[in-house]
Amino acid sequence: METTPAPVHVLAVDDDPSIRQMIADYLADNDMQVTAVGSGREIADIMERHTIDLLILDLKLPGEDGMRIARHLRAESDVPIIMLTGRKDEADRVMGLELGADDYLTKPFSPRELLARIRALLRRSRAHETIADGLSRIRAYRFAGWELNVRLRRLRSPQGEIIPTTNSEFNLLVAFLAAPQRVLSREQLLELSRLHDDEVYDRSVDVQVGRLRRKIEAKGTQTQLIRTERGAGYVFTAVVETVR
């Protein structure tokens, strides 16, 4: 018997009842479970009793230090955090991001934009989990005659040659191999390639993908292991086998 996956559970913390109600109603209409509370003091108890997939946190809670709450949460949990701030609170937004918040919205905001931000953040979070899990449990990936030994960080060609890769190229290749036949946006590749604290900056993803292509796609053939999806990103086209 197939089981229905549990809905995404969002915890929204804001002292404004109208904002809490708007968030709860809109996300519920989009098949998400929402717990909405007016104080940061309730977060720990809720997260102890429920599995929370994402937190929406107003940084301007009366009588509470939103920055302290964000810092404590990030030290205790990897739950994605979207912080809510006022339009003039640029310093708060910068500090919140530095403390570990993943995204922010300025008030007033549209529920449609909030939903889009939530979905994008959950996609990135799940992709990180997939690759981190793969790196901890998978010894190697094999594709089109190639083998990437994850633990040795060694790429072997179909002819048995060891092909050197930079950290950026290795990280991008692992991202592709962990999600074959799926479109990965530049933003996703940028985020995933930072798993090993390697710096890859936005459009330089295109440069790194180009270099990776030159290493794994044979010259003079029509074989395209990494296909460009115009306006969307890239797809790794080969069948990938994992070695555990």
| pLDDT tens digits along 115-138 | 998 988 887 766 665 555 555 667
**What CATH code is carried by the domain that includes residue 28?**
3.40.50.2300
Q: Phi and psi dihedrals of 149, rounded to 5?
A: -80, 110
**What CATH code is carried by the domain that includes residue 178?**
1.10.10.10
Dist CA 14 CA 46 (whole Å):
15
Q: Residue 69 is encoded by which pair of tokens?
A: 């709450």
Task: Based on the fold, state whether residues 34 and 118 are members of the same structural domain.
Answer: yes
Task: Based on the fold, state whether residues 105 and 147 are members of the same structural domain.
Answer: no
Question: What is the mean predicted confidence (pLDDT) over 170-183?
Answer: 87
Q: Number of folded domains in the chain? A: 2
Domain that includes residue 43, residue range:
9-125
| pLDDT tens digits along 95-115 | 766 666 778 888 888 999 999
> Among residues of the chain, what percentage have pLDDT more than 70?
80
Contact in structure between 104 and 60 (CB atoms under 8 Å): no
